[in-house]
Amino acid sequence: MTFDPDDDDAVRRVLIERREEIETLVAGSKEARDAVELDQSRVGRLSRMDAIQDQAMALETDRRRGLELQRIGSALKRLDAGEYGTCVRCGEEIEPPRLISDPASTICIDCAES
């Protein structure tokens, strides 16, 4: 998806859309997990190892999604504060292509690479 990182309304739309996407995924995986638990107690088809592995993966996915939601939340705050698109480390503008590929970026390419 492409948008103009200088257009606050467009940025806000993109960030909110992303947040909703992730929230939908989180809700979906929670439902899937509940379904597996039900299935397991009824049929006992998954081995214990598989169940543990699945759970670890699900937790990791949740953790990453939680972090992304936090990043999006703080990007929205920076947007409201008029600080969006400014590198939090060096204060330079974050390159627009970088913002387009990751709208929640907080640092510029130079700082990310150093």
Which of 63/89 has CB closer to Zn ion? 89
Question: Residue 39 or 83: which CB sits closer to Zn ion?
Answer: 83
Q: At closest approach, how far in Å is the CB of 85 from Zn ion?
A: 11
Residues paired with residue 93 on neighbouring β-strands, in sequence order: 86
Euclidean distance between CA atoms 82 and 57, whole angstroms: 37
Residues engaged in binding Zn ion (CB under 5 A): 87, 89-90, 108, 111
Least Å from the CB of residue 95 to Zn ion? 10
Rounded to 5 degrees, φ, ψ at 73 are -60, -45
Smallest gap from Cβ 108 to Zn ion, in A, equals 4
Residue nearer to Zn ion on the CB measure, 46 or 112: 112
Q: How far apart are the first and last CA of the chain?
A: 28
Say which residue the tokens 């979906």 belong to.
28
